[in-house]
C-alpha cells in the first residue's frame, strides 16, 4: 500500500516538473516573440519618422527632377531602351505610367526596375479622338505634381525612344525656364467648334503636338483648369464612320459629333487662353514623321505619324532626325531655329513611333547605346 502511494507521489512530482518546464518555455517564447515584434514595430516607426523628417527637411543634395509621363496601352514594349537611358541617374527623374485600368507593372509585365509599380491606380479608359486622352494627361500631371522635386514634366508615348544620353537630355530641358509646347494658329483645319465660343474664342484656338514638356507653373494651369477642359468634353466628339465601317450607332443629334482631336489642341489652347504664350518655347522635343497616305485604317488615314519598323532602324535614320535644326510653321509664316543655352542645337530629344523589333535592331546592330550619348 505504501509503495503504491510513493509511486503516485513521484508521478505527481514528475507532472509538476513537466508542467513548470512547459510554462517556463511558453513564457520565455512569448517574451522573445514580443521583443521581436516590438523591435520590428520600432524599426518601422523609425523608418516612417525618417521619411517624414526627409519630407520636412529636403535633402541638400537633392536635384530638381524631370517627371517622365508615359501614356501606354498596357506594358511598355521599349522599356529596355529606357532602362539603359535611366541607368545610373537616380535622383534626377521620376516615372509615371498611365495604362488601361487594372493593368499592373510587376515582375511579370516589366523587366525594368524603373517601371515596377509605376502605373497609376486611378487610370481611365482612353479612346482615340475623344477627350479621355487629355483627361489621362491631367491625371498624370496630378500625380507628378505631388512630388515637389518634379520641376519638368515630359509626356511620352509607349513607342518613343530617347535620342541622346540622360545627362544631355536633362541639361537641355533644365537649361531654360520655359515649357516646350508645339503651338501654332490653326487656320487650315475645321476642328474648331463654334459652339465653344465665347468660353474659347477662335483667336485662342491653337494646334500642335501633344508631346509637350511643361514647367511646374504650366503643369498646375493644366491640372487646375475648370473652364477649357469641360468645353472639350462637351463639344469634341469623334465622328461616326460610314455605315459599312461603323462600330457604333450614329447619334440622333449629329451636330454633337465634331472631330476636334483634343490631344492636339487642348494644352496649346489652354495656355494661349491663359496668356502665357510668351513663356513657351513653341516647338516639341519629340519627332514624328507624318505620312498622310500610310495608314491602312479608313478612319485614321492621315491622322497618325509613320511607324518605324525593323527595316527602317538604321544609323542614317537616327542621324537624319538628330540633324534637324529648324522647324517651319506655314500657318504663321514662322521658322523656328532650335537652340539650347543660347547656341544652335538639335530640335529633338525623342522620336516616335518605333516598333519593338526596330528598337531591338537599334540596340543590336546600330550600337544604339552610342547614339544616345551627346
Q: What is the pTM of this model?
A: 0.77
Phi and psi, residue 107, nearest 5°: -65, -15
Q: How much is the average pLDDT of 259-286?
A: 93
* Sole residue written with cell 459599312: 244
pLDDT, mean over the chain: 82
Q: Which long-range contacts (CB under 8 A, 24 or more apart) does 139-147 make?
A: 139/98, 140/69, 140/71, 140/96, 140/98, 141/69, 141/214, 141/219, 141/222, 141/223, 142/223, 143/96, 144/67, 144/69, 144/94, 144/96, 144/219, 145/216, 145/219, 145/220, 145/223, 147/65, 147/67, 147/94
Reply yes or no: is the peptide bond before residue 95 cis, omega within 30 of 0: no
**Helix runs in the chain, H state only:** 2-56, 79-86, 132-144, 166-174, 216-224, 228-235, 266-273, 315-322, 356-364, 368-371
- Is residue 54 very low, low, confident or very high in pLDDT (cuts 50, 70, 90)? very low
Q: What is the pLDDT of residues 247-266, one digit of tens each?
A: 555 454 444 555 788 999 99
Q: What is the distance between the alpha carbons of residues 52 and 149, in angstroms, rounded to a whole number?
A: 15
- Is residue 333 very low, low, confident or very high in pLDDT (cuts 50, 70, 90)? confident
Q: What is the DSSP string of 185-250?
A: E--SS----GGGTTTS-GGG-EE--S--EEEHHHHHHHHH--SHHHHHHHH-BPPPPPGGG-SSPP
Q: Does the pLDDT of residue 101 top 80, yes or no? A: yes
Q: Does the pLDDT of residue 77 top 70, yes or no? A: yes
- Is residue 216 very low, low, confident or very high in pLDDT (cuts 50, 70, 90)? very high
Q: What share of the chain is helix, strand, coil (3-state, %, to 5)?
A: 40, 15, 45
In the three-class reduction of DSSP (H, G, I as helix; E, B as strand; rest coil), residue 31 is classed as helix
How is residue 183 annotated by DSSP? -
Return the higher-pLDDT residue of 57 and 199: 199
Return the higher-pLDDT residue of 69 and 33: 69
Pair 293, 315: CB distance under 8 Å: no
Q: How much is the average pLDDT of 95-105?
A: 95
For residue 359, the tally of other CB atoms under 10 A from its CB is 22
Give the list of residues 6+ apart from residue 301 with CB closer than 8 angstroms, or none.
Answer: 292, 293, 295
Q: Does the pLDDT of residue 168 top 50, yes or no? A: yes
**For residue 41, what is its C-alpha cell?**
514595430
In the three-class reduction of DSSP (H, G, I as helix; E, B as strand; rest coil), residue 65 is classed as strand
Return the higher-pLDDT residue of 199 and 255: 199
Return the higher-pLDDT residue of 363 and 22: 363
How is residue 130 annotated by DSSP? S
Amino acid at each position: 500500500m505504501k509503495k503504491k502511494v510513493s509511486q503516485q507521489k513521484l508521478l505527481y512530482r514528475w507532472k509538476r516538473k513537466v508542467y513548470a518546464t512547459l510554462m517556463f518555455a511558453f513564457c520565455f517564447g512569448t517574451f522573445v516573440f514580443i521583443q521581436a515584434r516590438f523591435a520590428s514595430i520600432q524599426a518601422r516607426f523609425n523608418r516612417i519618422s525618417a521619411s517624414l523628417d526627409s519630407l520636412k527637411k529636403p535633402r541638400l543634395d537633392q536635384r530638381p527632377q524631370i517627371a517622365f509621363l508615359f501614356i501606354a496601352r498596357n506594358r511598355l514594349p521599349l522599356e529596355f531602351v529606357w532602362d539603359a537611358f535611366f541607368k545610373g541617374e537616380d535622383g534626377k527623374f521620376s516615372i509615371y505610367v498611365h495604362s488601361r485600368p487594372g493593368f499592373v507593372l510587376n515582375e511579370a509585365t516589366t523587366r525594368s526596375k524603373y517601371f515596377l509599380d509605376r502605373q497609376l491606380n486611378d487610370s481611365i479608359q482612353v479612346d482615340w479622338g475623344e477627350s479621355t486622352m487629355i483627361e489621362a494627361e491631367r491625371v498624370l500631371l496630378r500625380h507628378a505634381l505631388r512630388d515637389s522635386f518634379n520641376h519638368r514634366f515630359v509626356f511620352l508615348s509607349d513607342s518613343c525612344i530617347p535620342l541622346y544620353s540622360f545627362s544631355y537630355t536633362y541639361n537641355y530641358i533644365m537649361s531654360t525656364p520655359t515649357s516646350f509646347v508645339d503651338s501654332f494658329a490653326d487656320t487650315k483645319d475645321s476642328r474648331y467648334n463654334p459652339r465653344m465660343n465665347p468660353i474659347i474664342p477662335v483667336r485662342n484656338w491653337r494646334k500642335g503636338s501633344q508631346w509637350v514638356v511643361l514647367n511646374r507653373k504650366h503643369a498646375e494651369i493644366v491640372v487646375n483648369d475648370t473652364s477649357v477642359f469641360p468645353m472639350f468634353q462637351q463639344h469634341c466628339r469623334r465622328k461616326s464612320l460610314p455605315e459599312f465601317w461603323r462600330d457604333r450607332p450614329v447619334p440622333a443629334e449629329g451636330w454633337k459629333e465634331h472631330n476636334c482631336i483634343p490631344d492636339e489642341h487642348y494644352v496649346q489652347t489652354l495656355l494661349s487662353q491663359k496668356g502665357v504664350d510668351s513663356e513657351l518655347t513653341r516647338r516639341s522635343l519629340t519627332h514624328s514623321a507624318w505620312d498622310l497616305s500610310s495608314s491602312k485604317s479608313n478612319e485614321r488615314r492621315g491622322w497618325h505619324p509613320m511607324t518605324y519598323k525593323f527595316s527602317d532602324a538604321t544609323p542614317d535614320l537616327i542621324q537624319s532626325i538628330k540633324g534637324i535644326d529648324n522647324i517651319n510653321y506655314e500657318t504663321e509664316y514662322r521658322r523656328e531655329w532650335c537652340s539650347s543655352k543660347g547656341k544652335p542645337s538639335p530640335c529633338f530629344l525623342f522620336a516616335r513611333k518605333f516598333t519593338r523589333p526596330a528598337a531591338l535592331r537599334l540596340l543590336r546592330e546600330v550600337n544604339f547605346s552610342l547614339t544616345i550619348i551627346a
